[in-house]
Amino acid sequence: MNMSLVGRQFELTDAIKSHIQSAVESLKKYNLDIISTRVVVSADEKNGKKGYAVEFTINLPQKNTIVIKQKDKDVYAAIDLAVDRAQKVLRRHHDKVTDYRVTKLEEIANVNMEELNEIQNDEDVDEIIPMELDLYKPLEIQEALEMLKESNKQFLIFIDKDDKTRVLYKRKDNKFGLY
């Protein structure tokens, strides 16, 4: 990564340069292959008040240039605020670039079709034939009542002729309840 430091109307000291370099190094953690970074620090004096402006220009491959401008009364505070904003932008870009879906739907469908073909080609595989259980056949309420009386179960779940799931149960007073 190329990095250039420029001071406009302001002399960059070694301490400020090392602070900027360490801040720019912290941007590498997003693995975005940053091409170049340019940092311009300028001194502003308006209405007798001193201030500093920091401008970060970050060039990324296959992405527009990111420009971040920050002003503050203190040089270090301006640098830190600009780096925080740069990290936020780079983190968002990193989250967009990172592909969390490892396999696509078409790939899964192709794999499932291949597995089905392999299963069909194997001669040792037993054939599974689905069967309908007695429980799923519709029952009249009277039939279910007779089944519950014959068994020692407390309740019976069944489907009635209207395709509703019903529960027939024994009550404590030796009567039967129906949901």
- Among the three residues 52, 81, 97, which one is the final residue of a domain in this structure? 97
DSSP state of 123: S
CATH of the domain at 154: 3.30.505.50
The overall pTM is greater than 0.75: no
Identify whether residues 18 and 81 lie together within a single domain. yes
- Average pLDDT over every residue of 89-113: 72
Q: How high is the pLDDT of residue 86?
A: 92
**Tokens 């402006």, located at residue:** 53
The string over 87-98, giving b where at least 16 C-beta atoms fall within 10 Å of a residue's C-beta and e elsewhere, is bebbeebeeeee
Q: How high is the pLDDT of residue 138?
A: 82
Instruction: Establish if 126 belongs to a structural domain.
Output: no
Residue 88 binned pLDDT confidence (cut-offs 50, 70, 90) = very high
Closest CA to 37 of 12, 70, 4, 61: 4
Q: Taking a C-beta distance cutoff of 8 angstroms, is the pair 6, 16 a contact? A: no
Q: Taking a C-beta distance cutoff of 8 angstroms, is the pair 67, 82 a contact? A: no
Instruction: Establish if 119 belongs to a structural domain.
Output: no
Identify whether residues 6 and 93 lie together within a single domain. yes
- Average pLDDT over every residue of 56-76: 90
- Among the three residues 49, 75, 97, which one is the final residue of a domain in this structure? 97
CATH of the domain at 91: 3.30.160.100
Instruction: Establish if 106 belongs to a structural domain.
Output: no
pLDDT over threshold 90, residue 52: yes
Instruction: Establish if 117 belongs to a structural domain.
Output: no
Q: How high is the pLDDT of residue 102?
A: 59
Q: What is the pLDDT of residues 117-164, one digit of tens each?
A: 666 665 555 677 665 555 567 888 888 889 888 888 888 888 888 888
Identify whether residues 33 and 93 lie together within a single domain. yes
- The range of the structural domain enclosing residue 23 comes to 2-97
Cα separation of 126 and 147, whole Å? 35
Q: What is the pLDDT of residues 36-49, one digit of tens each?
A: 999 999 998 877 78
Q: How high is the pLDDT of residue 97?
A: 75
Domain tally for the chain? 2
Identify whether residues 10 and 62 lie together within a single domain. yes
